[in-house]
Amino acid sequence: MTGYSGVWVYAEHRNGVISKNTLEILGKGRELADKLCVELSAVLFGCNVSSSANVLTIYGADKVYVTDDEKLRNYKTRTYARLMTELILKHKPEIVLFTASTTGRDLAPRVAARLRTGLTANCIDLDIGDFEDKETGRRYEKILYQIVPAFGGNVVATIVTPFNRPQMATVRPGVFPPPEKIFRKGEIVLFKPEAIDVDEEVEVLEVNRSQEESSLENAKIVVGGGLGVGGPEGFKLLKELADSLGGCVGVTRPVTDAGWMPYDSMIGESGRTIRPDLYIACGISGALHHMIGVRGSRKIVAINNDPKAPIFEAADYIVIGDLFQIVPKLTEKVKKYVGAL
Amino acid sequence: MKGVINMHIIVLIKQVPDSREYVRIREDGTLDRERVRAVINDCDKNALEAALQLKEKFGSKITVVSMGPPKAEDALKEALAMGADEAILISDRRLRGSDTLATSYVLYKAIERLGHYDLIICGIESSDGGTAQVGPELAEFLGIPQATFVDEFKVIGGYVEAKRLVEGGYEKLRIKMPVLLTIMKNANNPRVTTFSGILKAVKKQVVTWTIDDVGAEEKKVGLAGSPTKIMKVEKLSFQRKRLMIEGETADEVVDNLLKRLVEDGVIRGGY
């Protein structure tokens, strides 16, 4: 395992625009690299993407490996996986991180299997620490702690990959705050393999990525609704409150299961992760699935008529009462006196 | 329809704890799968349904494969009752604690033993692990292409045309078979098992293979063969300030709440 050094982040982009989630991971990657006293590098593949490399140094990368080639215009799993593997084998990073997007979750396992190394999915946090192997009593220093929510209770598991390198993980979008620009003086390294091994068995017929990023993830204020809202009618009240605050409405899984609100408004473990300044939870009991998606909120207000609702454990401000009285009153007062920041 | 008739389709299914029930976690951090009611993982049923629809159209043979404890036989029996032709359970005590790499290695060895196939279909992810990694890792071991997060696909003369979900939209791929697809829950509506299906399935047997049967190396499976280790499992703390907002009337409560929020600087206004 000696000889492996450095933290890498695979950079996702849309037509050269680096994804917000990549920058979030880059921020965390910087922190991990500093703890390890090693370099942070980003990897950027695509066509006409070289000019975007400096964005990655601005947000903390010491080095950006770029392969800019017509053959990489469209993402193809095996083409990208072969290239990524080649680059990893050449430079031997100790940690490689991906966004848990549909692309990251498509690519990372392919690379991990090629390298016969471990991969931890959908991390909600990362850290550096030691690991003692109970069987052999051996101690492994400065390895990657990969923290993931574990099924079946309010638990998180810390996963480690002590014996294999690189240590690989995908990271849930939205779990880390967007990083500050630090204007690092980074180095851009062009990686030109002798031949790019293009997957000829796959043809990309069409790519449609016209939809905007969800406004829910970017909203400063989110009003959330659970089964306690009672039905689609009740959500009109929540929408009015959200509008008065310049915010958005999000919901729990049972609400989308019931068909009251669209699937893409679901916040939680299998939905979106938000980190607004203010989250107002209305008629939400506080299941783990949902709470994982809102734990990054600066302040949480919970409105519920059940004094025993578990959400009150996880709230800054507790309002025990009927949301059908409180919410319209709140909207009325907000309209009169308050504006969003 | 030319090129492909009588396809061999392999469907991978996983038996998972019913997500509505509480699951015990063992000392070593692995799930205790013995004590809870177990069901077929949700989107694996969509994978099987997709295969059954192809079978109806092209006359294919469907083999369902699962890796799990002996009781996973129930999941395979259900798959047979839905209309699958053959079922293989890879079950071996030495497999306990396998991570995604070890699991996909074992599945790879089993599929090699099955011989020719045209299509492998699985659900996008399991409801218990939720990694979505076994499909792509298996495809890598097999050296075949993949399309993940697929919500629509069709088979046209030796090729699969698949629509897969990507951030901000979708992409459409044309892929030479054999290929591995991971299928989303909204791809179709899995059929309900009928009584006649159950009767037919009674005659079919679930074949159980050990790691020796599939030729997997013991050191590459189970806890020892898994590069990832569970170091610890702990309670996730969501604890916050928990300040009760009080007031005689709804008016007062709302006033007090807004004052706090302005003080905190999360909203601005004349409070």
Q: Are residues B153 and B251 in the same domain?
A: no
pLDDT score recorded for residue A259: 84
- Report yes or no on B226 lying in a domain: no
CATH number among 1.10.150.80, 3.40.50.620, 2.60.40.420, 2.40.128.50, domain A7-190 = 3.40.50.620
Q: What is the mean pLDDT of residues B127-151?
A: 95
* Residue A330 sits at the chain B interface (C-beta within 8 Å): yes
A-B C-beta contacts closer than 8 Å? 270
Instruction: Kindly indicate the confidence band of residue A340, based on its pLDDT and cuts at 50, 70 and 90.
Output: very low
Hey, where are the domains in chain A? Answer: 7-190, 215-337
Residue B83 has pLDDT above 60, yes or no: yes
Q: Are residues B92 and B152 in the same domain?
A: yes
Distance from chain centroid for Cα B182: 9
Strand partners, A84: none
Q: Are residues B157 and B267 in the same domain?
A: no
Q: Are residues B270 and B153 in the same domain?
A: no
Contact B169 A209 (CB under 8 A): yes
Residue among A143, A142, A150 at smallest CA distance from A121: A150
Domain enclosing residue B265, as ranges: 235-271
User: How many domains is chain B built from?
Assistant: 2
* Residue A209 sits at the chain B interface (C-beta within 8 Å): yes
> What SS3 state is found at B268?
strand
CA atoms within 13 A on the CB side of A205: 12
Can A7-190 and A215-337 be said to share one CATH topology? yes
Q: Over the stretch B3-62, which tens digit does the pLDDT of each residue have? A: 445 899 999 999 998 765 555 556 555 666 566 688 999 899 999 999 999 999 999 999
Q: Are residues B158 and B271 in the same domain?
A: no
Strand partners, A7: A40, A95
CATH number of A215-337: 3.40.50.1220
Chain B residues within an 8 Å CB radius of A284: none
Return residues 245-274 of A near B (CB < 8 Å). 245, 269-270
Contact assessment for residue B122 and residue B146, using Cβ atoms and an 8 Å cutoff: no
Q: Which of A19-28, B28-37, B83-92 has the lowest mean pLDDT?
A: B28-37
Q: What is the CATH number of the domain that holds B147?
A: 3.40.50.620
Share of chain A above pLDDT 70, in %: 96
Q: Are residues B56 and B79 in the same domain?
A: yes
Q: Which of A128-132, A204-208, B3-7, B54-58 has the lowest mean pLDDT?
A: B3-7
Q: Are residues B58 and B151 in the same domain?
A: yes
ipTM: 0.88
- Of the candidates B195, B220, B245, which is a domain's last residue? B220
Residue type, A219: A
Q: Are residues B168 and B255 in the same domain?
A: no
- Report yes or no on B152 lying in a domain: yes
* Residue A295 sits at the chain B interface (C-beta within 8 Å): yes
Q: Are residues B170 and B268 in the same domain?
A: no
- Report yes or no on B19 lying in a domain: yes
- Report yes or no on B113 lying in a domain: yes
Q: Are residues B215 and B252 in the same domain?
A: no
Contact assessment for residue B54 and residue B75, using Cβ atoms and an 8 Å cutoff: no
Q: What is the mean pLDDT of residues A67-77?
A: 97
- Report yes or no on B230 lying in a domain: no
Residue B224 has pLDDT above 60, yes or no: yes
- Report yes or no on B183 lying in a domain: yes
